[in-house]
Amino acid sequence: MGWWKEAIDAAKRNDPAIKSSVEVVLTYPGIHALFFHKLSHFFYRQNLFLLARIHSQFWRFLTGIEIHPGAKIASGVFIDHGAGVVIGETAEVEEGVVMFHGVTLGGTGKDTGKRHPTVRKGAFVSANAQILGPIEIGAGAKIGAGAVVLANVPDQATAVGVPAKVVKINGKKVQHD
């Protein structure tokens, strides 16, 4: 019951539209995708790669959220709306991260080994942000809607644009040359 409580609490903390815990459990595809990812990830860790992929693709079909079974996702992550979210094989998402629809944690096609982003504790990733490559999004960072992030973003920073640029760190504007 611990995982469900953390997931429900994360949803309630981040979505003011929620009326009840039952609503979250029954109607939030981000919660469903994360829950079933746990089983896909278990199969993946047991080297049952085909079974893991089949299982993850079944839940992708039902939720509209694609999470590779190799991705490492901590408890307390919240995916709001969820449609079109893609999380790659070597991505890592720490606790308390919030993601919206259309987010991609993807590769660039040029890397081997670790090829997907790491999103640190408490980061906030807005709708349709594309975070690409083996980069790191710092703890408490905010990524603006539609941003294309190709480089590391420091802790407590805000990054926006295409390509994304850090515009604030610790709430203070950053000057660009």
Q: Residue-wise pLDDT tens for the chain (177 aa)?
A: 577 888 888 999 999 999 999 999 999 999 999 999 999 999 999 999 999 999 999 999 999 999 999 999 999 999 999 899 999 999 999 999 999 999 999 999 877 899 999 999 999 999 999 999 999 999 999 999 999 999 999 999 999 999 999 999 998 898 876
In single-letter form, the type of residue at position 92 comes to E
| Three-state secondary-structure class, residue 20 | coil
Q: Give the pLDDT of residue 1.
A: 55
Identify the CA nearest to 117 among candidates 150, 156, 144.
150
- Omega prior to 154 cis, within 30 of 0: no
Identify the CA nearest to 144 among candidates 162, 122, 159.
159
The listed CATH number (3.40.50.300, 3.40.50.2300, 2.160.10.10, 1.10.10.10) that belongs to domain 2-173: 2.160.10.10
Q: Give the pLDDT of residue 3.
A: 76
Q: Give the pLDDT of residue 5.
A: 86
Please measure the distance between the N-terminal and C-terminal CA atoms of the chain and give it in whole angstroms: 51
Q: Give the pLDDT of residue 14.
A: 92
| Three-state secondary-structure class, residue 43 | helix
- Please check whether residue 86 is in contact with residue 104, taking contact to mean a CB–CB distance below 8 angstroms: yes
| Three-state secondary-structure class, residue 2 | helix
Rounded CA separation 172/8 (Å):
33
What are the boundaries of each domain within the chain?
2-173
Dihedrals phi, psi of 68, to nearest 5 degrees: -65, 140
Q: Give the pLDDT of residue 177.
A: 64
